[in-house]
Amino acid sequence: MTEATCRRELELEIPAETVQKAVERVAKEFARVARVPGFRPGKAPVTLIRRRFAEDIKSEVLQSLVPEQIERAVTEKKMVPVTRPEVDKVDFAETGPVKFRATFEVLPDFELGTYKDLEVEIDDLKIEDSDVDKALEELRDRAATFVPVEGRPIADGDYAQLKLKGIPAGGGETLDAESVLCHVGGEETMDAFNQNLRGANTGDHKNFDVAYPADYPDPKLQGKTYSYAVEVLGIKEKKRPDLSDDFAKDVSDAKSFEELRAKIRADLEAARTQRQNEQAREKLLVKIVQSHDFPVPQALVEHQMDTRLERTVRSLAAQGVDPRAVNVNWVALRNRQRERSNEDVKAELLLDRIASAENIDVADEDLEKEIAVLAQRSGESATAVRANLTRQGALDRMKSRLRSEKTLDWLFKNSRIRTISKEK
Give DSSP secondary structure letters for 243-300: SSHHHHHHHSS-SSHHHHHHHHHHHHHHHHHHHHHHHHHHHHHHHHHHT------HHH
* Cross-strand partners of 228: 166, 208
Cα-based angle 366, 367, 369 (whole degrees, multiple of 5): 65
User: For residues 260 and 272, what is the distance between their CA atoms, to the nearest angstrom?
Assistant: 18
Q: How many CA atoms lie within 13 A of 383 on its CB side?
A: 0
pLDDT of residue 279: 92
What H or E segment, with its residue span, contains residue 7? Answer: strand 7-14
Specify the fold of 7-105: Alpha-Beta Plaits (3.30.70)
pTM summary value: 0.72
Q: Where in the chain is the domain with CATH 3.10.50.40?
A: 145-239
User: For residues 284 and 5, what is the distance between their CA atoms, to the nearest angstrom?
Assistant: 25
E-only strand ranges, 149-282: 159-168, 175-183, 205-211, 225-239
In the chain the first and final C-alpha atoms are separated, in Å, by 53
> What is the dihedral angle through the alpha carbons of 377, 380, 382, 388, rounded to the nearest 10 degrees?
-100
Domain spanning 145-239 has what CATH number? 3.10.50.40
Cβ neighbours around 143 below 10 Å, total = 13
pLDDT of residue 35: 67
Helices (H), 291-363: 298-318, 330-335, 338-357
User: For residues 82 and 110, what is the distance between their CA atoms, to the nearest angstrom?
Assistant: 16
User: For residues 7 and 377, what is the distance between their CA atoms, to the nearest angstrom?
Assistant: 42
User: For residues 157 and 154, what is the distance between their CA atoms, to the nearest angstrom?
Assistant: 9
Q: Where in the chain is the domain with CATH 3.30.70.1050?
A: 7-105
pLDDT of residue 6: 92
Q: Which amino acid is at 418?
A: R
pLDDT of residue 350: 96
One digit per residue, the tens of pLDDT, for the chain of length 424 reads 344 789 999 999 999 999 888 888 887 877 776 666 667 666 666 677 667 777 787 888 898 899 999 999 999 999 999 999 999 999 987 678 999 999 999 999 899 999 999 999 998 888 999 999 999 999 999 999 999 999 999 999 999 999 999 999 988 889 999 999 999 998 889 999 999 999 999 999 999 999 999 888 887 888 899 999 999 999 999 999 999 999 999 999 999 999 999 999 999 999 999 999 999 999 999 999 999 999 999 999 999 999 999 988 888 888 777 777 777 788 888 999 999 999 999 999 999 999 999 999 999 898 899 999 988 888 889 899 888 888 888 888 889 999 999 999 999 999 999 988 765 4
